[in-house]
Amino acid sequence: MVDQIVFGIGITALAGALATVAGAAEDTESDIGSQGDPNSQVQLAPQMGYIHRIFNKAIAGEPPAYGLWVALGAGVAWALMAMQVNAVLAIILGSALAVFVQGIYATTAYLGRIASLAKFGQPVYIDIIKSMTTVTMAHAFVAVFTTVTVCYLINVALGHPFPLPLLGLVWGIALGAAGSATGNPFYGKERQYQSQKFGAGVPIAASGNIVRYAEAGERNSLDNGWFSSKLGGPASGVCFGLIVFFELWRTVIFEEIANGWGAVIVGILVILIFAVIDRYIEIWARKTYGPYGKPEEAA
């Protein structure tokens, strides 16, 4: 009994750590590829006369894209394991295959997105395809591999009833959702609109006028990846890591209490704790930063 819980705690901690890496890689990958919501501005810029050299591969949001890639990686890994291939090697091979699908996706999406902007004079840059695609694939591999490993641990070590491919789909979508929610605003406001005032949202009148010149020369997506890897990426990693950790932790440790209700109660307590923290930082921001102007009369 004690051994089982200790083992479960260890697996939970490992899964949480892997998920943190997965989230960080996922957000950085999507920012290099400009796939998340800020991509609306990358797509809009040429239509406003701002030609740029940012990679542009948003034909699906991060959640369905990662749902596909992680499920694919998990599915192939599962099939290989059924053929008696070693689990570690199977997961690596499955993830590698999923990443090549991601590479095809990135290439065709970029060509398609940019071609649609031809009437506005936005060119397809061959050197952008060559240099960016491999970088997004590399980051995608890290995200897919770590997430598939998390799913494998959940299935084999912790005994979740879902088979590996289904777990891959579920956690792939969750990975994309968490990474998108956390990393996108930072990439959108602080990188694409770096020239706008710090500490305020982008005025709607500024739409499309993204930063197109780098510290030296024209900006490209590697510059954006470098930026995201310093805060947005790690924050996304912490977000997904916390999600995986607490989902597993409350079940592994507390499900034995009161025939499963222990896990429910602990889950509610954790939610309340996070709500209190959120309220605290909301108040802190209002006091510390102060208002932009005077309160208006209710509309």
Partner 1 sequence: MVVLETLGIMVILIALIGIIIGGVLIGFGVHFVPVGGAPAAMGQAPGIATGVAMLAAGAGLAGLFGGAWAAELGLLVALAAGAVGGGLMMAITQLMVNIIYIFGMGIPVASGKVAKDPITGDTQTEFKSQGTEGHGLPFVSYAGGVIGGMLGGLGGTLIYVMLLDVYLDALPLIYSTNKEAIYLVAVSLAGIFAVGMFLVNAVLAAYNITGTIEGPHDPKFKRFPRDIVASAIATAVTGIFALGLVLV
Q: What's the CA gap between 106 and 57, in Å, rounded?
A: 6
* Terminal alpha carbon distance of the chain: 61
> Out of 180, 220, 221, 228, which residue is the one contacting partner 1 (CB under 8 A)?
180
Residue closer to partner 1 (CB basis): 129 or 231: 231
Q: What's the CA gap between 229 and 135, in Å, rounded?
A: 13
Q: What's the CA gap between 222 and 75, in Å, rounded?
A: 31
- Residues from 196 through 235 that contact partner 1 (CB under 8 A): 197-207, 231-232, 235
Q: What's the CA gap between 297 and 129, in Å, rounded?
A: 52
Residue closer to partner 1 (CB basis): 119 or 294: 294
- Three-point CA angle 224, 229, 230, nearest 5°: 105
> Out of 176, 220, 224, 233, which residue is the one contacting partner 1 (CB under 8 A)?
176
Here's the x/- map for partner 1, 125-164, by CB under 8 A: it reads as: -----------------------------------xxxx-
Residue 216 CA, chain-centre distance (Å), reads 28
* Count of residues in contact with partner 1, rule CB under 8 A: 90
Contact flag: residue 82 with partner 1 (CB under 8 A): no
Contact flag: residue 70 with partner 1 (CB under 8 A): no
- Residues from 231 through 260 that contact partner 1 (CB under 8 A): 231-232, 235-236, 238-239, 242-243, 246-247, 250-251, 255, 259-260
Which of 130, 133, 131, 153 lies closest to 141, judged by CA?
133
Using the contact rule CB under 8 A, the part of the chain among 8-16, 106-114, 212-220, 272-280 near partner 1 is 272-280
